[in-house]
Amino acid sequence: MGILKFLVLLWAAALPVAAAAADAVYPSKAIRFVVPGAAGSAPDIRARYMAPKLAEALGQPVVVDNRPGAQGNIGAREAARAAPDGHTLLMGGSLLLMSDLLTPDPSFAGMRAFVPVTSVSASPLVFVSSATLPARTLADVIALARSTPGRLSYASVGPGSLQQLVAASLEQAAGVALLEVPYKSQALEIPDLISGQIATSFAYYSVLAPHLQSGRVRALAVASQQRLPVLPDVPTFAEAGFPAVEGKGWMGVMVPAGTPDAIVRRLHEELARILQAPEAVEQWRASGGEPGGNTPEEFAASIRDEFARWRKLIDERGLTAR
């Protein structure tokens, strides 16, 4: 046997051993958890809950790195540039998906630059009306919208937002035309919703909770396939006959594309254990969210399905981010 052939065979035989050795020492240094949101934002709160528990499980520090701005693209770009070795995580989410659909960043591959590890949480939008509106149910609001085409208002956080897409789904399903009134954030719309200057809104329970409890805002329907445990008496759009009206703000852990599968599996195992612990499940549900922890394959499939669904609606309705 020639020396070259011998060395090639020796190298090939050593590959599985080397790979196993690399997996055995993961992680070999601190892990950076990039959050494309400011301190105190929902993704930041979730990341800081998970970080110390993940650090304990992996035996290395997990450092939250806040990189807000540009609809989440600043943080995503930063994470995409990292080595695919499991030492950089991204808290990706529906904001990055919306960006890919409507305002793709030419400087990197967007969602395609990452491998999904597991979902963290998903929070369905709740369709609400001002208590000043002479309509008490979803059917009442739809009837009002049909009688005044293009005049019944709803608050959103602007063109290209999840709120706009869910509203477009309702318009399409119910055969109505609504008037979009954009705000910079959901918190800013609440005073106008309470006063009746805005008739309706699609917002998250965590923003709406005190106003629902005071009766100044009415919950009409939940944009998910199941009712929210914190709103057990509020039906879903599906129950009201509009199964296509569904929309959730979600977040999940991702790693740069090319990260070894063994590392992805290890991260999923530890994160799923953290996310499915009773304490986390209770905390997530109390804030109007659904707990995560699904497999990388399930998480990837849900992203693909959502992308296709919104792409179809955007094309049919001619929606833009402007």
| CATH classification at residue 62 | 3.40.190.150
Name the strands in the sheet holding 290-291, side by side, starting at the edge strand that comes first in the sequence.
62-66, 31-35, 88-93, 248-256, 114-124, 290-291
Return the residue matching tokens 């739809």.
142
pLDDT score at 322: 65
- Note whether 155 and 212 are same-domain residues: yes
Query: What is the enclosing helix (H) or strand (E) of 130?
Result: strand 126-130
Per-residue pLDDT reduced to its tens digit, 235-283: 999 999 999 999 999 999 999 999 999 999 999 999 999 999 999 999 9
- Note whether 111 and 97 are same-domain residues: yes
Domain-located, residue 242: no
Q: Structural domain of residue 158, as residue ranges?
A: 126-222
- pLDDT band of residue 55 (cuts 50, 70, 90) is very high
Per-residue pLDDT reduced to its tens digit, 171-185: 999 999 999 999 988
The number of distinct structural domains making up the chain is 2
pLDDT at 114 over 70: yes
Name the region of 30 (left: φ>0; alpha: ψ -120 to 50; beta: rest). beta
pLDDT score at 203: 95
Determine phi and psi for 223, rounding to 5 degrees: -85, 60
- Note whether 95 and 166 are same-domain residues: no
Domain-located, residue 135: yes
Per-residue pLDDT reduced to its tens digit, 125-171: 999 999 999 999 999 999 999 999 999 999 999 888 999 999 999 99
**Polymer length in residues for the chain:** 322
Name the strands in the sheet holding 217-222, side by side, starting at the edge strand that comes first in the sequence.
179-182, 153-156, 200-203, 126-130, 217-222
What pTM was estimated for this model as a whole? 0.88
Most confident of 15-19, 93-97, 98-102, 113-117: 113-117
When comparing pLDDT for 41 and 7, which is higher? 41
pLDDT at 186 over 60: yes
Other C-beta atoms within 10 Å of 308: how many? 10
Per-residue pLDDT reduced to its tens digit, 216-235: 999 999 999 999 999 999 99
